[in-house]
A = this chain, B = another copy of it.
Amino acid sequence: MALSRTRVSTALLALSLGLAATGPIAQDSLQDVMKNRGLTEKDVLSASKTYTPTGGRDEFLAFSSGGQSGQVIVYGIPSMRILKYIGVFTPEPWQGYGFDDESKEVLAQGRIHGKDITYGDTHHPAITETNGDYDGRYLFINDKANPRLAVIDLHDFETKQIVVNPFFKSAHGGAFVTPNSEYVMDPAQYAAPLSNGFVPLEEFNDRYRGGLTYWKFDNEKGRLDPSQSFTFELPPYSQDLSDAGKGPSYGWGFTNSFCSERYVGGNERGRPPFEAGCSSKDTDFLHVTNWKKAAELVAAGKVKKENGAYLIPMKQAVAEGILYLIPEPKSPHGVDVTPDGKFVTISGKLDSHTWVYSWAKIKAAIDNKKFEGKDPYGVPIIAINDVLHKSVNVGLGPLHTQYDSKPCVAYTSIYVDSMITKWDYCEGKVLHQLPVHYNVGHLMTMEGDSVSPDGKYLVSLNKLAIDRFNPVGPLHPQNHQLIDISGEKMELLYDMPIPLGEPHYAVAIASDKLKPGVRYKSGWNSRKDERSPWKTRAGREKTERSCDADGKCTVHVYGTTIRSHITPEIIEVEEGDTVSIHLTNLERAEDEVHGFAMYGHNVQLSIEPGKTASSTFVADRAGVYPYYCTEFCSALHLEMQGYLLVKPKGYKAKAVSLKEGTTYSQADYRKQVETNIATQGVIDGVVTFITSHNFKDFPTVVALVEDATDQLGFAEEAKAKSEAAAAKKDWSNAMLWANQWWQYQVKTADLGLRAKTHLEENGAKKVK
């Protein structure tokens, strides 16, 4: 048996000479595959429209709400591959979200009446806009169940802020941004008292209310500013979705509603259920609000605060001319301003027509004070016949409309008929209808609610899967169907199951508008976007213990992670200590994330390159608690481990020194050094290969070379330690440090081989 170290060097050498694998060779013809898999020509065409080869990029990224999973889902279009679940309202350990101290602070902002809320019901994501166009800076997402709104930074895809609505008890219809992200619209859903106390249902008409919050967004800070936000008090109709005006309708907002009957169910007492009483009229009410003028009133000190936040009473809104109602088709879900801001379309699920409202006509009615009456709360009602541009028979149970890049072209999701209707909102005619499977809720076109939709694709967010996929038990996935809208007729391309959560609404942005980072500045608190006070650097790691006057002690560990060790590897504390472990990931290389898990204490961190993440817990039980890296980061990832030792109170150590499990001789040391010298020769060979090619034209390779250079630097440090120990004839430590030196060489070789493969596969050229 030859020894392993030598073998490795031989294998490395073979690879560096290019003896490795050749590329794959096609073994079947397309005809064979089609026959075997039962594919039609149309299927192969669809496949070729979505298939994205290894390393390919998607043209669009979709951000979908995760519904009651409390997350946001990110996927690529047209590949329909899910790229990330972002933790927002629900703790998620892979991301360390709700586990590290830093993200716990974000979740704590979302407490309701002092209580931690451990999930959300996310509904409508919205991307920040500049001049009405998506700018890809931030994403907003609401929680319907516990009315809250969160801010996700699209630089790192992390949740940075959660705000709690000061008035509402549910809020379905947010988030929708104004054209320069001045405000985020967030209306209430089920009517409730705006105060927190109990109010009997008998006082529903008088003391239950709806509302619409305009959250102020600080575009500089990238955070919502509750102190500058304001809420319209609205009648107890269940407000629903919203949209902000643009172009000619800039400065105004539109919010629809259902159950304007103000019905209160109680089927347990023999009353007809809510579903009957909330769907008995023929129309509901569209709410038209003037946020620009409202903001001026706030700025002028003319709006009072309740519950610590600005509230514009209905009476004031009516008096100031900033609140109107217009009838809308029954049980609508979606109010969608056209890209030019001239029209607003609304579909009601219990009307087969989509109604197209003319903003010019609405504005004229407002300016001329031409109303057909007032609602029971004194809000002026504009007559539908005064403002209707068209009413188009789109199908049974129409829901939500998005726009095409082509002028006047819209798409509406049709719930009961399970289809998408393509239609012309200028001429008021249906252009094409395509069945979907089954029962679509919202739909999404590319940047389809901005001033300049991108066309090309449409996604149908279907609520059922039933027979579309392999069965996985009584709880099915949802089904997002990708549809090609580039031609005259829509074409169904792909069915994508949603494996976790029930998306409600989604938005898609051209992916070249996003410029996510791959690392943080070293020692970064990513949630606060500032240097962490708990950061540390290589060689400066330390553990500090301090006790207060009552004898309560706190241990702060300032540690680091790097391929393949955590520093410190042993942490000793006393039973009852509060322990705060702060780890800075020293890596700079893309994707070199380290995790940190510990037995029995709910400790689980995800530490991306540069990040400092912290975990605080009470070591309430004497014992031995292993910890380790949870992200497979390197060949010796499993060896990236350590122990928390919790000593009993008052424990006195015996004067026993550690007995080595294995000791090493001078011969062991020499053998390791020989291996290392051979390995260095191999590395030099790979380096020669790389530098003899135009590697600087390949950013991926440049990054790998940087990383490899770092690793070789670490190898040099270990080599020096090894030689120092050898000089003292401490052969065990000489051997161990020589091995550490070799470990860094292996990491270097790993990077070099990846770089070499990349160059070979991407047509790098030899240079002089």
Copies held by the complex: 2
Asked if B61 and A470 sit within 8 Å, CB to CB, the answer is yes
Asked if A497 and B83 sit within 8 Å, CB to CB, the answer is yes
Asked if B157 and A189 sit within 8 Å, CB to CB, the answer is no
Nearest residue in B to A350 (C-beta to C-beta)?
Answer: B4
A76-109 with Cβ < 8 A to chain B:
76, 81-85, 90-95, 99
What CA separation (Å) do A519 and B473 show in the bound complex?
Answer: 8
Q: Is the C-beta of A258 less than 8 angstroms from some C-beta in chain B?
A: yes
Asked if A83 meets B499 with Cβ closer than 8 Å, knowing A268-B567, A416-B746, A754-B438, the reply is yes
Asked if A198 and B651 sit within 8 Å, CB to CB, the answer is yes
Q: Is the C-beta of A263 less than 8 angstroms from some C-beta in chain B?
A: yes
A303-354 with Cβ < 8 A to chain B:
329-331, 333, 348-353
Asked if A27 meets B491 with Cβ closer than 8 Å, knowing A51-B46, A93-B119, A265-B570, the reply is yes
What CA separation (Å) do A238 and B7 show in the bound complex?
Answer: 24
Asked if B84 and A156 sit within 8 Å, CB to CB, the answer is no
Asked if A623 and B198 sit within 8 Å, CB to CB, the answer is yes
Chain B residues, Cβ within 8 Å of A196: 621, 623
Chain B residues, Cβ within 8 Å of A348: 4
Nearest residue in B to A595 (C-beta to C-beta)?
Answer: B68
- Most B CB within 10 A of own CB, among A40, A85, A391: A85
Asked if A653 and B200 sit within 8 Å, CB to CB, the answer is yes
Q: Is the C-beta of A44 less than 8 angstroms from some C-beta in chain B?
A: yes
Asked if A700 and B467 sit within 8 Å, CB to CB, the answer is yes
Asked if A516 meets B435 with Cβ closer than 8 Å, knowing A25-B489, A51-B43, A272-B736, the reply is no
- Most B CB within 10 A of own CB, among A91, A265, A646: A265
Asked if A202 and B658 sit within 8 Å, CB to CB, the answer is yes
Q: Is the C-beta of A657 less than 8 angstroms from some C-beta in chain B?
A: yes
Q: Is the C-beta of A381 less than 8 angstroms from some C-beta in chain B?
A: no
Residue among B157, B433, B469 making CB contact with A83, cutoff 8 Å: B469
Nearest residue in B to A385 (C-beta to C-beta)?
Answer: B1
Nearest residue in B to A24 (C-beta to C-beta)?
Answer: B491
What CA separation (Å) do A187 and B414 show in the bound complex?
Answer: 54
Chain B residues, Cβ within 8 Å of A469: 57-58, 76, 81, 83
Asked if B268 and A543 sit within 8 Å, CB to CB, the answer is yes
Among A213-221, A294-302, A627-635, the stretch that binds chain B is: A627-635
What CA separation (Å) do A210 and B95 show in the bound complex?
Answer: 30
Asked if A624 and B169 sit within 8 Å, CB to CB, the answer is yes
Chain B residues, Cβ within 8 Å of A548: none
A134, chain B: closest CB distance, angstroms: 15
Asked if B499 and A74 sit within 8 Å, CB to CB, the answer is yes
Asked if A656 and B736 sit within 8 Å, CB to CB, the answer is no
Chain A: interface residue total (CB-CB under 8 A): 272
Residue among B261, B391, B487 making CB contact with A662, cutoff 8 Å: B261
Among A9-17, A178-186, A245-253, A285-293, the stretch that binds chain B is: A9-17
- Most B CB within 10 A of own CB, among A5, A259, A266, A569: A569
Asked if A473 and B517 sit within 8 Å, CB to CB, the answer is yes
A25-53 with Cβ < 8 A to chain B:
25-30, 33-34, 37, 39-53
Residue among B34, B567, B733 making CB contact with A267, cutoff 8 Å: B567
Chain B residues, Cβ within 8 Å of A441: 632
What CA separation (Å) do A150 and B215 show in the bound complex?
Answer: 44
Asked if B591 and A279 sit within 8 Å, CB to CB, the answer is no
Residue among B157, B474, B736 making CB contact with A518, cutoff 8 Å: B474
A341, chain B: closest CB distance, angstroms: 25
Chain B residues, Cβ within 8 Å of A203: 656
- Most B CB within 10 A of own CB, among A208, A275, A636: A275
A502, chain B: closest CB distance, angstroms: 6
Chain B residues, Cβ within 8 Å of A736: 272, 276-277, 280
Nearest residue in B to A11 (C-beta to C-beta)?
Answer: B352
Asked if A416 and B753 sit within 8 Å, CB to CB, the answer is yes
Chain B residues, Cβ within 8 Å of A661: 204-205, 236, 261-264
Asked if A639 meets B169 with Cβ closer than 8 Å, knowing A44-B30, A118-B91, the reply is no
Q: Is the C-beta of A712 less than 8 angstroms from some C-beta in chain B?
A: no
Residue among B641, B653, B757 making CB contact with A418, cutoff 8 Å: B757
Among A223-231, A359-367, A596-604, A687-695, the stretch that binds chain B is: A596-604
A407, chain B: closest CB distance, angstroms: 20
Among A125-133, A392-400, A447-455, A527-535, the stretch that binds chain B is: A392-400
A272, chain B: closest CB distance, angstroms: 4
Nearest residue in B to A333 (C-beta to C-beta)?
Answer: B638
Chain B residues, Cβ within 8 Å of A156: 473-474
What CA separation (Å) do A43 and B266 show in the bound complex?
Answer: 59
Chain B residues, Cβ within 8 Å of A750: 397, 415-416, 439
Asked if A93 and B90 sit within 8 Å, CB to CB, the answer is yes
Q: Is the C-beta of A380 less than 8 angstroms from some C-beta in chain B?
A: no
Asked if A628 and B350 sit within 8 Å, CB to CB, the answer is no
CB pairs A–B below 8 angstroms (8 shown)? A200-B656, A275-B743, A331-B636, A349-B635, A439-B750, A466-B591, A502-B595, A502-B631
